[in-house]
């Protein structure tokens, strides 16, 4: 990692950078966890292989962003991932929502349409974010963004294929996809948001402004909707609150208590 | 009296003995993971490029490098670090590495990715071009699953990774 003296860093810059890194890390971390819950439950075995591989990559990305936070003196990677409370998390609420009713060991009624739409829309936004971060004023983040981007190519291809195919399948598939699109749009504003420190982030050249990134997302997604003769919704809501401000749902509390169970048995253990 | 003879070239020889834990025919050198070797008096610093970022083998590789280098004489400190610039891409796999992948039953990545982004993979067993992609994703982050319609073998291929 490049040698950057964090003590020389301007305080406003550092808090904007830290907040941005928490958003990036927490988004990937919780969505990778939700992806891992699908293991063994995906529609067919090839999808099981693909989705778990994507989730593994995504967890790797989260770990890189937590590493950048560790380098800034925020604490150890494992502790950042496992021991922070829900109110300290900065992930978008859409990404923490359960996969569906039931428990993954007991009567899971997971919604594949929701998984496809949530992942596709999110990964497309992540791609736009990484493209912007390649030019970030914080060099270590720019380097990680280039590496993340190489892997995202495959994730995006995967989810776009599912999305287009299920949208064209008709009948029940289409009904469930339409419902999923509405649900995802109701909270997609939370994914697009860069939170209260957005101004400082864009002013200091860490990332482009939220409005520009949102326009880029619309620009890429509109032709996909056009190609399947569907008009794209325009409400980018935050129905369940803004995760960038530490607002979260019970779904996150439950997820955190499950995923950190082993960690809390012995936080000092090396894995 | 200096009888110490630790050169970059014998370190590279030692690193040739460190294999990918998940594809044990190929060394980390032939995978293109070794970016820089610095020898300073009795200290060695190795800069490695991670392949896929969530690859669980990265920490194992780091430990294996340290253990392999400890066998060389007269070393005080060994530092192994992962760096992210330049990014690892599949064109870094050496000619020997490509052969070693095939030995393991994995088709090597394309030497060059055409502008169209198309990916042609020959069967590592019979060299037939009559193959089909079964799953872009495979048993590890860096591999895809394919099928050879000539010799009727399923096989894997290293996923092309490129910055273009």
pLDDT one-digit tens code per residue, A14-63:
999 999 999 999 999 999 999 999 999 999 999 999 999 999 999 999 99
Please state the rounded mean pLDDT for residues B105-118.
83
Most confident of A7-16, A235-244, B74-83: A235-244
Say whether residue B60 is in contact with chain A using an 8 A CB cutoff. no
Closest CA in chain B for residue A58 = B54
Say whether residue B163 is in contact with chain A using an 8 A CB cutoff. yes
Chain A CB contacts of B81 below 8 Å: 1
**pLDDT at position A1:** 44
In this model, does residue B81 exceed pLDDT 50? yes
Closest CA in chain B for residue A141 = B84
**pLDDT at position A271:** 62
Rounded (10°) angle between helices B57-70 and B8-16: 130
Token digits for B124?
């590592």
List, in order, residues 6 or more apart from B29 with CB less than 8 Å away. Answer: B12, B15, B16, B18, B94
Domain at A9-265: CATH architecture: Up-down Bundle (1.20)
Q: Do A57 and B139 touch (CB under 8 A)?
A: no
Can you say whether the dihedral through the CA atoms of B148, A153, B140, A163 is positive or negative? negative
Binned at pLDDT 50, 70 and 90, residue B4 comes out as low
Other beta carbons within 10 angstroms of residue A106's beta carbon come to 6
Written as one string, the DSSP assignment of B81-117 is EE--SSPP-GGGS-HHHHHHHHHTTEEPPPSS--TT-
Closest CA in chain A for residue B164 = A150
Chain B CB contacts of A57 below 8 Å: 52-54, 141
Please name the residues between 123 and 182 in chain A that touch chain B, using a CB distance below 8 Å. Answer: 140, 143-144, 146-148, 150-151, 154, 157-158
**pLDDT at position A12:** 94
Binned at pLDDT 50, 70 and 90, residue B20 comes out as very high
**pLDDT at position B41:** 83
Say whether residue B53 is in contact with chain A using an 8 A CB cutoff. yes
In degrees, to the nearest 5, what angle opens at C-alpha A30 toward C-alphas A193 and A80? 95
Least confident of A105-119, B15-29, B111-125: B111-125
**pLDDT at position B3:** 45
Domain(s) labelled CATH 3.30.300.130 in chain B stretch across 8-82
Note the ipTM here: 0.86
Distances (CA, A) of A124 to A40, A119, A208, A247, A259: 25, 8, 16, 24, 26
| Of B140 and A54, more confident | A54
Q: Residue B146: name the closest of B161, B162, B130, B160 by CA.
A: B130
* β-strands B154-158, B34-40 pairing: unpaired
Q: Do B52 and A151 touch (CB under 8 A)?
A: yes
Give me the percent of chain A exceeding a pLDDT of 90: 90
Say whether domain B8-82 belongs to CATH 3.40.50.1980.
no
List, in order, residues 6 or more apart from B22 with CB less than 8 Å away. Answer: B57, B140
Q: Do B136 and A158 touch (CB under 8 A)?
A: yes
Mean pLDDT of chain A: 95
**pLDDT at position A237:** 97
Token digits for B34?
């070794």
Token digits for A114?
């929701």
Q: Residue A71: name the closest of B54, B46, B28, B83 by CA.
A: B83
């Amino acid at each position: 990692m490049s040698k950057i003296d964090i003590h020389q860093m301007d305080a406003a810059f550092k808090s904007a950078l830290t907040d941005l890194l928490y958003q990036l890390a927490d988004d990937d971390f919780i969505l990778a966890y939700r992806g891992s819950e699908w293991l063994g439950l995906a529609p067919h075995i090839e999808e099981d292989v693909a989705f778990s591989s994507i989730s593994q990559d995504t967890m790797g990305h989260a770990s890189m962003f937590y590493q950048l936070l560790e380098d800034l003196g925020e604490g150890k990677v494992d502790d950042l991932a496992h021991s922070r409370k829900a109110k300290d998390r900065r992930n978008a609420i859409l990404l923490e929502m359960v996969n569906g009713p039931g428990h993954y060991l007991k009567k899971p009624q997971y919604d594949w349409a929701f998984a496809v739409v949530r992942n596709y829309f999110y990964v497309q936004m992540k791609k736009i974010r990484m493209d912007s971060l390649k030019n970030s004023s914080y060099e270590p983040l720019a380097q990680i963004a280039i590496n993340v981007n190489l892997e995202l190519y495959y994730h995006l291809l995967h989810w776009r294929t599912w999305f287009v195919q299920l949208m064209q399948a008709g009948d029940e598939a289409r009904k469930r996809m339409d419902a999923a699109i509405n649900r995802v749009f109701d909270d997609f504003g939370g994914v697009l948001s860069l939170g209260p420190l957005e101004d400082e982030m864009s002013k200091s050249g860490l990332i482009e402004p939220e409005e520009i990134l949102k326009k880029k997302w619309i620009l890429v997604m509109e032709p996909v909707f056009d190609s399947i003769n569907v008009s794209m919704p325009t409400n980018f809501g935050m129905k369940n609150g803004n995760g960038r401000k530490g607002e979260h749902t019970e779904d996150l509390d439950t997820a955190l208590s499950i995923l950190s169970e082993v960690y809390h048995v012995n936080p000092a253990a090396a894995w | 009296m200096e009888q110490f003879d630790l050169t970059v070239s014998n370190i590279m020889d030692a690193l040739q003995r460190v294999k990918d834990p998940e594809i044990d025919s190929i060394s980390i050198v032939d995978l293109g993971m070794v970016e820089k070797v610095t020898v300073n008096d009795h200290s060695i610093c190795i800069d490695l490029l991670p392949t896929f970022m969530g690859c669980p083998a990265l920490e194992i590789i780091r430990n294996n490098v340290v253990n392999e280098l400890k066998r060389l004489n007269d070393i005080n400190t060994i530092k192994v670090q992962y760096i992210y610039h330049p990014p690892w891409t599949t064109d870094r796999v050496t000619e020997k590495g490509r052969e070693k992948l095939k030995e393991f039953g994995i088709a090597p990545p394309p030497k060059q990715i055409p502008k169209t982004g198309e990916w042609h993979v020959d069967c590592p067993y019979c060299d037939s071009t009559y193959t089909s992609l079964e799953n872009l994703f495979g048993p590890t982050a860096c591999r895809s699953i394919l099928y050879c319609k000539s010799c009727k073998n399923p096989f894997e291929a290293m996923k092309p990774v490129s910055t273009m």
